[in-house]
Structure 1
Amino acid sequence: MWTKHHKKRRLGRFVVPAITVAFLSYFSYHSVHGDFGLRAMERFERTRITRQARLDVLVEERKRLEREVALMSDGSLERDMLDEKARFALNMSRSDEIVIFH
């Protein structure tokens, strides 16, 4: 029976820990800096907050426009609303009126 005797190498016992450290380093780097990592999540959260603020502004503007449309289309047309919209669209005013731009 033939057997091979190997000398114990000094570096042989460091192979498994070195591979483990390499894998852990790779995954920990990408968990912070990757496409779905912590920094990407912070960027996403900042974007979400700014877009939510913009959405709130747009929702308020839409509600305001819906109120104006309701005043003009419910069958009983408000005379003041009609007068205001006509003057704004035609860019006209009477000679005895004071116009305040804001």
Structure 2
Amino acid sequence: MLFFGAYAVLGSNGILALGDYKRQIAARNKQLATLSHRRETLKNRVALLDPRHANPDMVDELVRKELNVAHPDEVIVPLK
């Protein structure tokens, strides 16, 4: 009986491990919220780049960023 009682308190699934489990769950929930927000952001960008009706501003932003192009009459201000 003593062994089972001690294991219920000190074991890997015992009462003392409950606080660690709660801390891990809170950390995972925070990570899930961050990843869900990132997923929604990417989902929105994909919708803006749909070939059937692409958003001209998003296309322009991507072309400038990926191909490093600019209009001849634009002034480029480098930022650190």
TM (norm. structure 2) is 0.79
Aligned to 2:59: 82
**Larger relative CO (CA 8 A, sep 6+): 1 or 2?**
2
**Deviation digits for residues 40-82 of structure 1, max 9, x if unmatched?**
2221111111011000000000001101111110622111101
User: Larger radius of gyration, structure 1 or 2?
Assistant: 1
Q: After TM superposition, give the deviation of residue 99 of structure 1 in Å.
A: 4.5
- Give the fraction of aligned pairs with identical amino acids, expressed as a percent: 26
Q: Give the CA RMSD over aligned residues.
A: 1.9
Unpaired segments ≥5 residues, structure 2: none
Provide the aligned length of Structure 1 versus Structure 2.
77
Unpaired segments ≥5 residues, structure 1: 1-22
Q: After TM superposition, give the deviation of residue 93 of structure 1 in Å.
A: 4.6
Residues 63, 69 of structure 2: 8 Å contact kept: no
Aligned to 2:36: 59
- 1:6-85 superposed matches below 5 A: 23=1, 25-73=2-50, 75-85=52-62
Amino acid at match of 1:82: V
- Give me the whole-angstrom Cα distance separating, in 2, the residues matched to 1:47 and 1:74: 42
Amino acid at match of 2:77: I
